[in-house]
């Protein structure tokens, strides 16, 4: 996966994101759901509804889905946003 950012001044940034970074992010989301708010006095910014959603995410299935998506949909553009001044952001698998 890669993120392409182009400024209106002509500077272009290409940020490659390896699969292990996506796996780490999925693990962090899973941990946030598991240990989100054990204390009622916790000042966590995650509300109860979001914690319930995070608890129900199966990280093994999500990781497998990302790997399958990378294999079957390589080159697919997920996000393509352009401004009137010529700057844009693209996210490509």
Scan for tokens 């989100």, then name that residue. Answer: 36
The answer on pLDDT for 20 being more than 80 is yes
Residue 39 has a pLDDT of 55
For residue 42, what are its two tokens?
């916790």
Give the global pTM: 0.61
Q: What is the distance of C-alpha 64 from the center of its chain?
A: 15
Q: pLDDT tens-digit profile of 43-58?
A: 556 677 777 777 777 8
Average pLDDT over residues 6-22: 89
* pLDDT band at 33; cut points 50, 70, 90: low
| Choice between 13 and 63, residue whose per-residue pLDDT is larger | 13
Domain ranges of the chain: 2-92
């Amino acid at each position: 996966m890669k993120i392409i950012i182009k400024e209106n001044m002509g500077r272009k940034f290409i940020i490659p994101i390896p699969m292990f970074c996506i796996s780490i992010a999925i693990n962090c989301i899973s941990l946030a759901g598991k240990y989100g708010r054990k204390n009622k006095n916790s000042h966590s910014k995650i509300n109860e509804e979001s914690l319930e959603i995070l608890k129900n995410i199966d990280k093994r299935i999500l990781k497998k889905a990302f790997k399958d998506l990378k294999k079957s949909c390589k080159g697919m553009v997920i996000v393509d946003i352009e401004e009137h001044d010529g700057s844009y952001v693209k996210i490509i698998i």
